[in-house]
Amino acid sequence: MTSSAEPVSRAERKKQELRREIIDAAFECFADRGYHATGIADIAARLGIGHGTFYRYFENKRDIVDHVVEDLIGRIAAVLTKENAPDAVTNLEDYRAQSARIGESLARVFGEDPRVPRLLMFEAPGIDKAMAERVLDLFELGNALTAAYLSHGVEQGYLRADLDVPSTANAINGMILGSAIASLRKPGAEDQRRLSEALRRVMYDGIAAR
């Protein structure tokens, strides 16, 4: 049973590797030519594969962007579970520690491949109306998640009782978005650490219960 399953596992691993290579080649082409000027032929030629191989993995280049967005949502969702869930803490000290963990984890998610935030913020919204809406939906999801953390803090009493939760969530995510844009020019770990620390300081001083 085990030996017969191994070739399937190996084949699946190779399939995943080629899928990743196609995505990487597409990113390189998008960076060189722009999304709209890139054709399937450009991606296939860069990787040295035929069109047929490309279409076994993706319907078109738009499908690659969909895959990147889905993958990003999955990785963000994985960060916000268990000890990092909105209702996991009950006091300001633990909230500070939780925020630091989340900030560090999200920095790793976006820092693993700086092309991902660049694609989402600058290329994807201009692909078509549906993709622009999807990117906006992703930002709205971020606002909703942040609001869930803030609402829990108000309920538990470690955040201000008069907090305007929706507007504060928007403001915090605006700062996070600004940090992500800044990281495209200054991707260094130390710069990101200092920026993240400054962001959290603004958050705590402004919204902690007195």
167, 194, 200, 210 from 171: Cα distances, Å: 6, 19, 12, 20
The confidence score (pLDDT) of residue 5 equals 46
| Of 122-136, 168-182, 193-207, highest mean pLDDT | 122-136
CATH number, domain with residue 139: 1.10.357.10
Do 15 and 52 belong together in one domain? yes
Domain count, the chain: 2
Q: pTM here? A: 0.79
Instruction: Say if residue 112 is in the same domain as residue 184.
Output: yes
Domain containing 35 — which CATH number? 1.10.10.60
Torsion-angle region of 60 (φ positive above 0: left; ψ -120 to 50: alpha; else: beta): beta
In terms of residue numbers, what domain contains 176?
61-207
The rounded distance, in Å, linking the Cα atoms of 20 and 15 is 9
Residues 6 and 76 in one domain: no
For 131-157, write each residue's pLDDT tens digit.
999 999 989 999 999 999 999 999 999
94/140 same-domain check: yes
User: Residue with structure tokens 């709209």?
Assistant: 36
Do 28 and 70 belong to one domain?
no
Domain-terminating residue out of 58, 75, 97: 58
Region 35-57: mean pLDDT is 93
**Residues 202, 122 share a domain:** yes
Q: Which residues make Cβ contacts (< 8 Å) with residue 143, sequence separation at least 6?
A: 166, 169, 170, 173
For the ranges 86-95, 116-125, 136-145, 192-201, the lowest mean pLDDT is seen at 192-201
